[in-house]
Amino acid sequence: MSDNGQHVIWQADSTNPHLAESTREALRQVIDPEIGLNVIELGLIRDLIIEEESAHLVMIMTTPFCPYAPALLEMSRQRAEEALGRPTTIEIGAEMWEPTMMEEGAGGDWGLF
């Protein structure tokens, strides 16, 4: 779910807003090497669910055959786990990525928006 191009609304935004924000900031360190933008700017993290003793991320790739997918998934999982201080799992979501999922202004260098 998106907030008018601002950022994706995660379940954790309503259940644990402070942890969601610190996780969002930590995930900004994970850069897609082909595109040069981070996974938050690209809108790749589609959901974050925070439980009492664990957390779960749902992430998509910009293309189905992204050669960096395994590394991006693991880096994202690790950053989230560090930010949350609890074991974190990650899954690839079924949603197809499109440029409108990017944060407002992130696609400017591409001439998309």
Q: Is residue 2 part of a domain?
A: no
Q: Is residue 94 part of a domain?
A: yes
pTM (two decimals): 0.88
Please report, in tens digits, the pLDDT of each residue of the chain (113 residues total): 444 445 689 999 999 999 999 999 999 999 999 999 999 999 999 999 999 999 999 999 999 888 999 999 999 999 999 999 999 999 999 999 999 999 987 765 555 54
User: Cα 4 from chain centroid?
Assistant: 16
Q: Is residue 46 part of a domain?
A: yes
How many beta carbons lie within 10 A of that of residue 79, not counting itself?
Answer: 20
Q: Is residue 112 part of a domain?
A: no
Could you list the residue range(s) of the whole structural domain that residue 16 is in?
11-104
Q: Can you give the pLDDT at residue 99? A: 92
Q: Can you give the pLDDT at residue 5? A: 47
* Residue 58: strand, helix, or coil: strand
Q: Residue 84: enclosing H or E segment and its boundaries? A: helix 69-84
Instruction: Name 16's Cβ contacts closer than 8 Å, sequence gap at least 6.
Output: 50
Q: Can you give the pLDDT at residue 62? A: 94
Q: Can you give the pLDDT at residue 6? A: 57
User: CATH number for the domain including 71?
Assistant: 3.30.300.130
Q: Is residue 113 part of a domain?
A: no
Q: Is residue 1 part of a domain?
A: no
Q: Is residue 109 part of a domain?
A: no
Number of structural domains, the chain? Answer: 1
Instruction: Name 28's Cβ contacts closer than 8 Å, sequence gap at least 6.
Output: 38, 39, 40, 41
Q: Is residue 23 part of a domain?
A: yes
Q: Can you give the pLDDT at residue 106? A: 74
